[in-house]
Chain A
Amino acid sequence: MTYSYFPGCTLKTRGKDLDTWGRASMEALGIHLEELPQWQCCGAVYPLAKDEIGSRLSAVRALAAARDLGTPLVTLCSACHHVIKRTNYDIRHDALFRDRANNYMAPDTAYQGEAQVLHYLEVLRDHVGFDTLAKKVVKPLTGRKIGAYYGCLLLRPSKAMAFDDPENPTILEDFIQAIGAQPVFYAQRNECCGGYVTLEDPSLSQARAGAVLHNAAAQGADTLITACPLCLYNLQKNGGKLPVVYFTELLAEALGLKEVPV
């Protein structure tokens, strides 16, 4: 099976580990992620200004391209996912935005929100299935205590993201169980790490990242997993000693695709 895939700018550079192990693992699970031709950077931040159209157009282009290919559009970076899913929501619910975007882009067929946007984790949960995933695990991460770090962008606002319960999500914990490890629940798993202000106000990033890692460590986590390159950077740089890795790295380990670091 082939799905369209939007990697985004960071997964081609600093976030290669998220991308490389994500693609390899999906391939092993029988789904080929075909990179969307000529995708443009999503802009990394969803613009909250209702009167800005231009800053959402690259997302509309990606959505229309996936619609034309007749495949779901899979994203992996939390930020890309947030921008593209919310833009699709806007196209479906905001007639003025839909009209203005189509008027500007003038596609052969107007884009009306037909594409389905899926986060990689949603593909694992809803298309592969965590039970099936568990059966394909060859090197279970037995004995590991992993904390899921959701952050903000995957979950909120839940009306548009429709990803999981925004206050009590389970998708990452179910994933952790499927790869044979023990999920560690901690209060800060869906609170912000302060990544956005790492250039503006490092003291705030440090306070937030420290709070997240301290809470996870206190609950017994030996590692945190994330789907966001900015969270990973910020938690590592500004947080503390607890290791933070991309969830796709542990997935590839469990599937026997990646050497386990000693």
Chain B
Amino acid sequence: MSQWTDTIRQISGVDPRKCMKCGKCTATCPAYDHMEYHPHQFVDMVTTGRVEELMASKGIYTCLTCFACVERCPRSVEPAAIIEAVRLAVIRQQGGNHMTPDQIPGLLDEELPQQAITSALRKYSKGG
């Protein structure tokens, strides 16, 4: 088990060992094709200490935080909370922000709602 396993458990408040490996979270995940590790693998790899591989994967930014895996997990494991905790383990490192405010002007279009910018900064940079 790596030091990261405890960190992820602390940030997420989730016990990944509750997982019974049914795969329902992954079966329902709408970002499946855009994540190299799928929700059940996040849960499994945190348990077995392979957190650094998850931290280096693009799926921590493409999870849609749609809570389908949370709602449909029969064991209340909350895979989305684990994925967010892995993302935060990266983002909270010095220089770890995935998006910064100076990138925003280049991403704007006339219709883009404020909500899109606020949520992107919340998800991809250090929070409060």
Contacts and interface: CB of A to CB of B under 8 A. Distances in A.
B65 A204 contact: no
A139 to B, nearest CB: 28
Q: Which 3 A-B pairs have the closest CB atoms?
A: A54-B128, A192-B66, A50-B13
- Interface footprint category on B: 35 or more
Contacts, number: 135
Interface of B is mostly: helix
B12 A50 contact: yes
Contacts of A203: 34
A49 B120 contact: no
A194 B71 CA distance: 17
B113 A10 contact: yes
A57 B128 contact: yes
Given A54-B128, A192-B68, A201-B62, 6 more contacts: A47-B127, A49-B88, A51-B13, A204-B34, A230-B115, A237-B111
A48 B85 contact: yes
Contacts of B37: none
Interface in B85-128: 85, 88, 99, 107, 111-120, 122-124, 127-128
Interface centre among B11, B85, B113, B119 (most CB of A within 10 A): B113
Nearest to B108: A199
Interface in B21-73: 30-31, 33-34, 61-62, 64-68, 70-71
A201 B112 contact: no
A157 to B, nearest CB: 5
A200 interface: yes
Interface in A100-130: none
Interface in A7-36: 8-10, 13-15
Interface of B: 10-13, 30-31, 33-34, 61-62, 64-68, 70-71, 78, 80-81, 84-85, 88, 99, 107, 111-120, 122-124, 127-128
Interface residues of A, number: 49
Given A43-B122, A201-B61, A204-B31, A48 B128 contact: no
A192 to B, nearest CB: 3
A162 to B, nearest CB: 13
Contacts of B111: 14, 233, 236-237
Contacts of A147: none
A262 B123 CA distance: 40
